[in-house]
Amino acid sequence: MTEQGAERGGDLAGKRILVPESRDLDLFAGMMEQHGAETIRCPLVKILDLDDPAPAREWLERLLTEGFDDIVLLTGEGLRRLMTVARAMEREADVVAAIGRARVFVRGPKPVKALREIGCTPYKSAPAPTTDGVIAMLGEEDLTGRRVGIQLYPDNPNDPLLEAVRAGGGIPVAVTPYRYANDSETGAVQTAIRDMADGRIDFVAFTASPQVRRLHEVAEACGLGDAFRQGFARTRIAAVGPVVAEAVEAAGGTVAVSPESTFHMKPLVNAIRRLLTEGEGSKPA
């Protein structure tokens, strides 16, 4: 928690914002503190390498030996973790070349950025950064007989996507190259839930759907289900994009604000600022 933002003034002066981000916690919280917010830092989910990298190695071996006609990347983190395994195999250059030979479909801007880091570009981006968006994108392609390497993310086997590839005549080869671990201590999460229920938090700013699920899971496990529901009802919720918004709604919440098109932290901060400065009925940034 910090009081510096409240002392400086700004669009977010006097607002207490719960920040569940993990990897870029200081960066994200600092963006809001620059505009006067008091942030409550409560990292909820940590991204880790697989305990056993065998599934990622096997997927990469298939990429190298059989080749994929198409590759679907759902997250930038997934590609970076695969490249970490490729380096451990001493096959990084070979993997980059194999990716470059395939048509690469991406869900959103983060895998685009990760592709550019290895000198590759996407063949096509989904019209919306969701599973439905990816399915719609692939539905425009003839996948008959094509081997489709699919990078998934933890806690979501994404059967609809795999079935859509099969329905289009493709052969899906899926991999989940990283895992989630609980980050913040349970006590800190419990305190955050109670503060939301008691109206002591003005916003909670979610940047990933596992954060929403972790908050809900702790509440139910600790007998705070009612407090969670009360807190979700009275606390304004900011979501970085449509996937996170879906997780919020699935947990019984309503998203007060979200960026319209660019789903990153800075546009999310600006959307919160605009909501506060232009009023509840304004259009988010």
DSSP state of 140: T
HSE-CB of 44 using CA atoms within 13 angstroms: 26
pLDDT of residue 276: 86
**pLDDT value at 13 more than 90:** yes
Query: Pick the residue with more confidence: 276 or 167?
Result: 167
Percent of the chain at pLDDT > 70 equals 94
Q: Taking residues 221-228, report their average pLDDT.
A: 96
pLDDT beyond 70 at 1: no
Q: Express each pLDDT in 64-76 by its tens digit.
A: 999 999 999 999 9
pLDDT over 80 at 284, yes or no: no
Report which of residues 39 and 2 the model is more confident about: 39
Instruction: Say whether pLDDT at 237 is over 50.
Output: yes
Is residue 283 predicted with pLDDT exceeding 60? no
Q: What is the DSSP letter of 275?
A: H
Beta bridge pairs of residue 106: 73, 125
> If you average pLDDT over residues 261-285, what whole number do you get?
76
Contact 68, 101 (CB under 8 A): no
So what's the pLDDT on residue 4?
A: 46
pLDDT in tens, 177-217: 999 988 878 899 999 999 999 999 999 999 999 999 999 99
Determine the average pLDDT of the residues in 82-97: 98
CB-facing half-sphere around the CA of 92: CA atoms within 13 A: 11
Q: Check residue 281 and give its pLDDT.
A: 41
Return the higher-pLDDT residue of 279 and 5. Answer: 279
User: Would you give the DSSP letter of residue 174?
Assistant: E
DSSP 110-135: HHHHHHHHTT---SEE-SSSSHHHHH
User: Of how many residues is the chain composed?
Assistant: 285
Neighbours of 143 (CB within 10 A): 20
Q: Under a CB-based contact definition with an 8 Å cutoff, are residues 74 and 105 in contact?
A: no
The pTM for the full model equals 0.79
Whole-number pLDDT of residue 134? 98
Which amino acid is located at 9 in the chain? Answer: G
The answer to whether the CB of 102 falls within 8 A of the CB of 60 is: no
